[in-house]
Structure 1
Amino acid sequence: MAESKDFLSKFHLEAGISSKDFQKIWKNYDTDENGYIEQGELENLIKDLMMQADEEVTPASMQAYKKHIMTFFDSNTDGRLDVKEMLKMFPVKDPSSSA
């Protein structure tokens, strides 16, 4: 369901994103629409992020990235990311803080 290989290029994640952009990311990667980013969906997200960073993803690095993400963001340790956990990974900027 990815719109393109460069789906994430329009998002400036380090500065925070709008809630609209977060919803686009969520809908793009929650391909089965069950309310969670599960392992296969997470792999697609990682592949796109690494493509944006111009880094090759090997099977070993994919496993390492998944483990790292789940360690830091899967707060309930259920092996998948819910919306609240994804918000930690893709912080939404407060529109009132824009000057």
Structure 2
Amino acid sequence: MAPGLMSLEEESHILVLFNLHRATEYELQLHPGHNPANPLRGVFATRSQYRPNAIAATVAEIVSVEDNVINVTGLDAQDGSPVLDIKPHRATFDGAAG
């Protein structure tokens, strides 16, 4: 196992920071869920992937850690998205896991 992954299998969830590498456009105001029935909001008041930076974060559940691979569920990144960082999820820092 890679030295940096040591003991990660003891955790239940991880916080994954990744790059929205396919994002090319953003809006500063939008309707949440791309639904015009929702009131217009500023992008920072939404969970939209259309943001003025390409950094995204999500909490994922660890299924297993083996052969230098972290298998997870609940990761909403696209295949091939560059991972910027991985941290163990801590409710005191990140809020409760779903």
Q: TM-score range by the shorter chain?
A: under 0.3
Between structures 1 and 2, the one with greater strand share = 2
Between structures 1 and 2, the one with greater helix share = 1
TM-score after normalising by structure 1: 0.22
TM-score after normalising by structure 2: 0.22
